[in-house]
Amino acid sequence: MKIIPIHVKTERALRSFNFYLVQHSNELILIDAGYDTEDCWNGLVEALQTHHLQLSDLTAIVLTHHHPDHVGLVNRIRKQLDVPLYVHPESVHRLTREPAFMEMRINFYKALYQQAGCGAFGEKQIDRLQRSKETNIGNRIEGELTLIDVTKPLFDFDLVETPGHAPDQIALQYDDILISGDLLIHHISSNALIEPDTHGNRLFTMQQHINSLQTVQQLDVQTVYPGHGSVITNHQALIQERLLGIQQKAEHLRELMLQKPMTANDLAITMYQKRYETQFPLVMSEIIGHLDYMESKNMTMKTEKDGVFEFEPVFDRVK
């Protein structure tokens, strides 16, 4: 098996959009498909040329998860070439932007932001989601989707479900290599984005993310190919660092609640200040996810007041 990494640089904090060509037996597989930009397209074309390959040699595309910076070139490739697209079953209604699901998802965030005490800022975000439901219709993935069976190998890759960052995220393992999507990024901690499941129930994405990190930490792999940033060769230590980071952030949040009970929104503003405005959904996911974690670890308790949750710190009793 030969992995051909395509790393397309970006000014964003992510540093690069990574996707991978894999040559194995008679297959040429594209794992993930970057952003829908000329830069990513050129990155793909150049990688093919360098290795004396052509787009028409592609035999399959596999997605690690449904996010737009991982599926960007799919439609463009499949307009030119009839190539199967392998996706996790949880990806389908997200990739196809199924209207009933998109509507449910907006209502889910509406209730979530209300409970978190986000007020007008939450409503503004809901308006944004409503608008993007219309404007992003062009990002819908067209054509047939082939569902992955995670219990079986795919092109000799063993599949590992790694939900948390996204509900449909998978990692692909072959020998001592792992293609890992956005589970683990070398230079930043990846977000466990709050999402509903197919039925509109809240997924406890932070706990899922922690479980996924622990699963991958156990894997006997040497090289982890991530969705962004540089290749990872010390995944066990890096995962340890990430798990510790979650615990430390939880302890920091508990300190912030000492003065008075706080809503998730209060905590988001106090902790993130400017980023609260510029990266509202990310910041709220981060806070709500850590509050879930803290509740499960008995570090906080919440009370409801007029439909909004307030959190107080809990400390271990002195023995």
Cβ closest to Zn ion, residue 208 vs residue 300: 208
Cβ closest to Zn ion, residue 118 vs residue 183: 183
Minimum distance of Zn ion from residue 73's CB (angstroms): 15
Cβ closest to Zn ion, residue 14 vs residue 44: 14
Q: Give, as ranges, the residues between 256 and 285 that touch Zn ion (CB under 5 A).
A: none
Minimum distance of Zn ion from residue 182's CB (angstroms): 4
Minimum distance of Zn ion from residue 165's CB (angstroms): 6
Cα atoms in the Cβ-side hemisphere of radius 13 Å centred on 170: 26
Q: Which residues of 266-280 are buried (b: 16+ CB within 10 A; e: fewer)?
A: bbbbebbeeebeeeb
Closest to 289 (Cα-Cα) out of 221, 197, 193, 222:
193
Look-up of token digits 């439609």: 75
116, 309 contact by CB (below 8 A) = yes
x/- site string to Zn ion, residues 126 to 165, per CB under 5 A?
----------------------------------------
Strand 85-87 vs strand 60-62: parallel, antiparallel, or unpaired?
parallel
- Is there binding between residue 32 and Zn ion (CB under 5 A)? no
Cβ closest to Zn ion, residue 1 vs residue 92: 92
Closest to 164 (Cα-Cα) out of 289, 282, 283:
289
Cβ closest to Zn ion, residue 67 vs residue 88: 67
Judged by CB under 5 A, the number of residues near Zn ion is 2
Residue nearest to Zn ion (CB): 67
* Backbone dihedral angles phi then psi of residue 61, each to the nearest 5 degrees: -120, 135
Helices 280-296 and 205-218, axial angle in degrees (round to 10): 80
Q: Which amino acid is located at 239 in the chain?
A: I
Report DSSP state, residue 62: E
The tokens of 257 are what? 């609640």
Cβ closest to Zn ion, residue 28 vs residue 179: 179
x/- site string to Zn ion, residues 173 to 192, per CB under 5 A?
---------x----------
Minimum distance of Zn ion from residue 65's CB (angstroms): 6
Q: Give, as ranges, the residues between 44 and 103 that touch Zn ion (CB under 5 A).
A: 67
Binding stretches for Zn ion (CB under 5 A) = 67, 182
